[in-house]
Amino acid sequence: MKYNILMTQEPVVSVKNLNHYYGKGSLKRQILFDINLEINSGEIVIMTGPSGSGKTTLLSLIGGLRSVQQGSLKFSGREFFGASQTELVQVRRNIGFIFQAHNLLGFLSARQNVQMAVELEDNISQIDAITKSKAMLAAVGLGEYVDYYPDNLSGGQKQRIAIARALVNHPSLVLADEPTAALDKQSGRDVVELMQRLAKEQGTSILLVTHDNRILDIADRIVDMEDGCLARDSHKGNIGYESGAKTNHSYSF
């Protein structure tokens, strides 16, 4: 039965007893404390918590942007602890990143910004890369703007390009660090609803950090970070999507 296969599927992210430190010698400071977290396939998890509590640090570890110092962090079953930089680069191809500042390149058009991500894939012709980039921009409602440069687009439109870029290779995970922080209320809402829709269509998991209480309802689950600890992990239950029904976690809180 398909449902049972989903129930036993390996989590996309599995973090166990993860600690992290910045600084050396007497300046060494522990930032993350015994983090345990699993994210299942297709699940949308929102992480909240005060500034400085360690959210970005955890995101960068999960994204393979930083080396794991202590504990276990697996992405689709692959252990990051002890992984080489080359291995991390390989794994990062399966992860889409969306940051607070959209991180688009100003001298490239919308299409070229998305196409850059497509061309990280091996064996794709330029024609196919262009077609794929245009289709993804159309999917985020920017079909008319493929040749525009970021400077000539609104904050919400730029963030939608960043979403297109993050999702164009159909990654199994999208990591979004305060993606609505620079947007007005309505644009922020539009952007997360778009991420939610595309992720559900593609079966992509999302881990999204936000301070914005108004978007919490898009999550299947909410976790809170406090002083480097995961203080709360609440199930919101099934909010009408299939993935809500198939989640099957065990936590040690």
Min CB(31)–Mg ion separation in Å = 11
Site for Mg ion in 142-201 (CB under 5 A): none
Nearer to Mg ion, 55 or 134 (CB): 55
Considering beta carbons, is residue 99 or 241 the nearer one to Mg ion? 99
- Could you tell me which residues come within 8 angstroms of residue 85 by beta carbon, excluding any fewer than 6 positions away? none
Residue 239 CA to residue 200 CA, distance in Å, equals 12
165 DSSP β-pair partners: none
Query: Nearest CA to 9 among 35, 36, 45, 42?
Result: 42
* Count of Cβ atoms closer than 10 Å to residue 4 Cβ: 9
Residues ≥6 apart with Cβ < 8 Å to 49: 55, 224, 225, 226, 231
Pick one of 40, 48, 56, 187: the residue that binds ligand ADP (CB under 6 A): 56
Rounded Cα gap, residues 154 and 18, in angstroms: 39
Nearest residue (CB) to Mg ion, 55 versus 158: 55
What is the 8-class DSSP label of residue 211? -
Smallest separation (angstroms) from ligand ADP to the CB of 144: 35
253 touches ligand ADP by CB under 6 A:
no
Tokens matching residue 10: 């390996």
Going by C-alpha positions, the residue among 183, 172, 168 that lies closest to residue 215 is 183
Region near ligand ADP per CB under 6 A, out of 52-60, 77-85, 130-138, 216-224: 52-60
Q: Which residue is nearest to Mg ion (CB)?
A: 56
Q: Which of residues 20-39 bind ligand ADP (CB under 6 A)?
A: 22, 31
At residue 54, what are phi and psi to the nearest 5 degrees?
Answer: 110, 10
Should residue 53 be labelled a site residue for ligand ADP when binding is judged by CB under 6 A? Answer: yes
Report if residue 69 touches ligand ADP, rule: CB under 6 A: no
Under rule CB under 6 A, residue 181 binds ligand ADP = no
Q: Does 56 bind Mg ion (CB under 5 A)?
A: yes
Residue 40 is a binding residue for ligand ADP (CB under 6 A): no
Q: Which residues bind ligand ADP (CB under 6 A)?
A: 22, 31, 49, 51-57
Residue ranges in contact with Mg ion by CB under 5 A? 55-56
